Amino acid sequence: MQIKLIIAALCASLLLSACGASANGGAVGAVENYVNALAAKDKTTLIANSCANWEDAALLELDSFAIVDVSVADLSCKQSGADGDLALVDCAGRFDMSYNGEPQSLDLSNRTYEVVNQSGDWLVCGVR
């Protein structure tokens, strides 16, 4: 009986830590989760890492990948500064895409992500 209780407590602890992943990973973790969610076409994770004002734009980005195969290559992000309440995060790496067998890539270093802390959760809230 004690073993079952310990296993249940461990599972609950893992679930709770997963829910706060962007908070623990800070602004950089939120951006990495956001980028990986785009490539995985994971709407739930994408929205979970977006502020309310950015959700529509995030969904438009997701829709733009609807008919292509997408993967993330060489992703590396770092906080590059701040602008008021925003943390600014720059990434290196790229989206590798394929449409009808034609490869394309999109360089991630051309964007700076704007990330806000809302109630302890870091959320992507724009790009520059």
Q: At what angle do helices 2-19 and 21-40 cross, to 10 degrees?
A: 70
Question: Per residue in 19-76, pLDDT tens?
Answer: 434 446 999 999 999 999 999 999 999 999 999 999 999 999 999 999 999 999 999 9
Q: What is the pLDDT of residues 61-104, one digit of tens each?
A: 999 999 999 999 999 999 999 999 999 999 999 999 999 999 99
Domain boundaries, the chain: 26-127
User: Nearest CA to 21 among 49, 56, 50, 47?
Assistant: 49
DSSP codes joined into one string, 31-79: HHHHHHHHHHT-HHHHHHTB-GGGHHHHHHHHHHTTTSEEEEEEEEEEE
In CATH terms, 26-127 corresponds, of 3.10.620.30, 3.10.450.100, 2.40.160.10, 3.40.50.170, to 3.10.450.100
pTM here is 0.81
> Please, are residues 28 and 79 in contact by the beta-carbon 8 Å criterion?
yes
